[in-house]
Structures are given as structure tokens and as C-alpha cells.
Amino acid sequence: MVRLIQDSWAKAEPYLPEVTQFFYGMLFTLAPATRDFFPINMEVQRNRMVRALVHVVQMVDQPDDLVPFLRQLGRDHRKFGVIPKHYEAIGTALLAAMRSQLGLDWTPEVERAWAEAFTIIARQMQEAAASDTNPASWSAMVAEHRRLSWDLAMIRVEPDSDIPFRAGQYLSVEVPQRPRLWRYLSPANAPREDGSLEFHVRAVDGGWVSRAIVSHTQKGDVWRFGPPLGRLHIDRPSGRDVLMVAGGTGVAPLHAMLDDLAQWGENPKVHLFYGGRTREDLYALEGLRMIASCNPWLTVTPVIEGGPGLSGCEQGTLADVVTGHGAWPGRDVLVSGSPAMIRATVSRMLVAGTALDQIRYDPFTID
């Protein structure tokens, strides 16, 4: 089944714009209400949903990773008001879009493989959504917006009711400046008594949402959140030491876990490599060093690719520097950053001898 899916997608992928156009046209015909799930400007959405669907379908032979991810995704989609007939429409539209481009290559065997895979996906998502007793979404008011640099901002929000997240998880977020354009953000703090959450957001090229957050967010804005997602965490009871690798604002979920650990007297040893292209990218370094100064279990090593160095800094990419210290046997490895940084670091660590089951990261690439 997986081979048929992968082979047929390789033939259809060069025609992704046509597949996408057919998919949305069919979906909105079969289930007009789903149009409200997406932004008014569909150009911004482009191929995101089709790529995400295919990404998930191609993981159907990896149940240990796929099932927990799908169940999280099913709970997250409750915020849209998704019901079973919407899943049926999405599956029908996806298969029809693939058929429209593959022609004679869309054999009964290929269709059966795609249909079976999507059925597995839809069932897991629907079961998770049906069993979730939490609210479908939460609202929070912006209490503070502070520019840390021209392209970076810290935003603190106060939810109407506590969001039951765990340090290291991330949330889907909708901001009033970009309605229906949901994006994933990681709180940079552990759960607090007042329920507030702090986010670090960098404006990226072509980033409609990130640029709006950095440049236009104001105190009093109301943000909307989906349920907590992600499996990054530190297993304190295991006693295993931890290696953290963070690039840029990818340090946020790792900072949240360090914030959580700082509440305990004894912890496993944690070594954090925090990297960026230049010194200016390491915006959280001072705060991390402050945590380390009070907690002997934490070591922080800054890494920059170029430009003037700083005390205790190593030069190079995170992948080069981390693997230069060996394979890190026996450590739990947590990696967080851009998709490109995660791919490069994980690949180099595997080559260096780090076991795959040591490494954890979250799949932001589907956003």
C-alpha cells in the first residue's frame, strides 16, 4: 500500500498546482461549509493542505509515530467544527484530484491503497476528537507586546481559562490581523499560576502571520488557540541526561522545559546548544545563562555560524558543533528549530552514531 502511494505521488507531484486547484474545487462543491475553514485569500493557503494530507498518508507504515500525531491533529481540528461528513468530503476530493492528474496510472490498486490509507487517518482523528472533553478552542487577551529587535517580538497573553499544556508543547494560534490563517507557536514558559503564556515570534520572509504579530499586535488583541500539541518533554523519572539543540526561536519550547525543571531541586544533566547565524540571533542567551548560573545541572553552549564571537561560543552550524562532541550515547536528544535546521541536525547526528530512538522533534513542516 505504501509503495503504491509513494510511487503514484511521485508521478503527481510535478502537477501539484493542478492537483490543489482540483482538490479545493471538489471539496467546496461536496461540502460548501468547509470554505469557512480557510482564509478569504486562498492564494496564501496554496498547497499547504494537500501537502499535509499527502505527508500524513505517506506515514501510514509508521504507526508508532503516526497514530499519536493523528490523534493530536483530530483534537486540534475540533476548533474548525469538523464533523464526520467533512472527512468524507476531504477524502473524496483528494482521491478525485489525484485521479484527475494520473489518468491511466490511477489503477484500481492505487485507488484502493489511497482509500485505505485515508480511512485509517480519518478514523484515528475522529475517534480522538470524539473522546476529547476539553474545549475546542480557547481565547486569550494580549497583555504585553514588546519588540526585542526589528524582526522579533515577545508577546504575553492571558487566557480566559487555563490551557492545559505541558512545557515543550505547541499550540495553533489565530490572530485578529490574519483571520483563519492558523500557525503553530510554542510557549516559552512552563505553566504558571496565572495561566499566562509567553511567545517569541520572529518575522520571516513571506510570513503573513509572523509579520503581523511582530509589527501590528497590540495590547488588548484577542488571540484564539487550539489544543496543546507535541510530544517534546523531559523524562525526569528516568534519570537520563538530556541534550538540547535549538536554533533561533526554536529555543522557546526548550526554554519552557528548563523553566519547568528549575522548579525542582534535583534534575538530570542538561546540555543546551543554542545556535544562530550571528550573535544577534541568540536573543535568549542572557536569560538561559541566568538559569544556568542558579542550576548546576544545566550547561549552555552558544553557537554562531559567523561574525564576532562571544565568551564560551563555538563556531559553525549546530549540526557541525553538536556532532563534533560525539554521538551523545545514553542521552535523550531534543531538537527544535526551523525544518531545515532540524533535518540537517538529525541527519548528521544519525551519521555520527546517535540512535534514532534517542532523538525527538516535532513535525512543524506540515504547518
Q: Are residues 11 and 44 in the same domain?
A: yes
Q: Write the DSSP string, 288-306.
A: HHHHHHH-TTEEEEEEESS
In a domain, 366, yes or no: no
Cβ–Cβ < 8 Å for 18, 100: yes
User: pLDDT by residue (tens digit) across 92-110?
Assistant: 999 999 999 999 999 999 9
Confidence of residue 45 (pLDDT cuts 50, 70, 90): low
* Domain-ending residue, one of 103, 131, 159: 131
Write down the pLDDT at residue 44. 62
Q: How many domains does the chain have?
A: 3
Nearest C-alpha neighbor of 154 from the set 189, 127, 120: 189
Q: Are residues 8 and 120 in the same domain?
A: yes
- Spatial separation of the C-alpha atoms in residues 188 and 170, rounded to whole Å: 10
* CATH number, domain with residue 241: 3.40.50.80
Query: By percentage, how much of the chain surpasses pLDDT 90?
Result: 72
- Spatial separation of the C-alpha atoms in residues 217 and 366, rounded to whole Å: 25
Write down the pLDDT at residue 46. 65
Write down the pLDDT at residue 366. 37
In a domain, 303, yes or no: yes
The sign one gets for the Cα dihedral 70, 76, 78, 81 is negative
Q: Is the pLDDT of residue 25 over 90?
A: yes
Q: Are residues 156 and 125 in the same domain?
A: no
In a domain, 367, yes or no: no
pTM of the predicted model, to two decimals?
0.85
Residues 6+ apart with CB under 8 A from 238: 268, 332
What domain range includes position 145? 138-229
Write down the pLDDT at residue 136. 93
Q: Report in angstroms the alpha-carbon separations of 130 from 71, 226, 230.
A: 10, 16, 19
Instruction: Tell me what the pLDDT averaged over the chain comes to.
Output: 91
Strand partners, 138: 225
- Spatial separation of the C-alpha atoms in residues 162 and 228, rounded to whole Å: 12
Average pLDDT over residues 229-243: 92
- Spatial separation of the C-alpha atoms in residues 323 and 110, rounded to whole Å: 41
Q: Is the pLDDT of residue 164 over 60?
A: yes
Of the given ranges (9-23, 86-100, 348-362), which has the lowest mean pLDDT? 9-23
Q: Is the pLDDT of residue 58 over 90?
A: no
Q: Write the DSSP string, 25-63.
A: HHHHHH-GGGGGGS-S-HHHHTTHHHHHHHHHHTTTT-H
User: pLDDT by residue (tens digit) across 241-278?
Assistant: 999 999 999 999 999 999 999 999 889 999 999 999 99
Q: Are residues 176 and 246 in the same domain?
A: no
Q: Are residues 245 and 324 in the same domain?
A: yes
Long-range contacts of 182-185 (CB under 8 A, 24+ apart): 182/226, 183/209, 183/210, 183/367, 184/229, 184/364, 184/367, 185/252
Q: Is the pLDDT of residue 365 over 50?
A: no
Cβ–Cβ < 8 Å for 302, 314: yes
Q: Are residues 105 and 12 in the same domain?
A: yes
Q: Are residues 148 and 251 in the same domain?
A: no
Q: Is the pLDDT of residue 306 over 90?
A: no
User: pLDDT by residue (tens digit) across 320-349?
Assistant: 999 999 999 999 999 999 888 999 999 999
Residue with cell 542521552: 331
User: pLDDT by residue (tens digit) across 70-100?
Assistant: 888 899 989 988 988 999 999 999 999 999 9
DSSP letter assigned to residue 204:
-
Cβ–Cβ < 8 Å for 202, 212: no
Q: Are residues 344 and 268 in the same domain?
A: yes
Average pLDDT over residues 13-39: 91
Confidence of residue 38 (pLDDT cuts 50, 70, 90): confident
Query: By percentage, how much of the chain surpasses pLDDT 70?
Result: 96
Residue 119, amino acid: T
Q: Are residues 149 and 245 in the same domain?
A: no
At 248 the three-state DSSP class reads helix
Q: To the nearest 10°, the Cα dihedral for 146, 149, 152, 156?
A: -20
- Spatial separation of the C-alpha atoms in residues 67 and 29, rounded to whole Å: 30
Residue 340, amino acid: A
* CATH number, domain with residue 142: 2.40.30.10
Q: Are residues 124 and 146 in the same domain?
A: no
Average pLDDT over residues 22-27: 93
Cβ–Cβ < 8 Å for 334, 362: no
Q: Are residues 178 and 205 in the same domain?
A: yes
* Domain-ending residue, one of 131, 156, 183: 131
Q: Report in angstroms the alpha-carbon separations of 35 from 24, 163, 353.
A: 9, 28, 47
User: pLDDT by residue (tens digit) across 119-152?
Assistant: 988 999 999 999 999 999 999 999 999 999 999 9
Strand partners, 336: 246
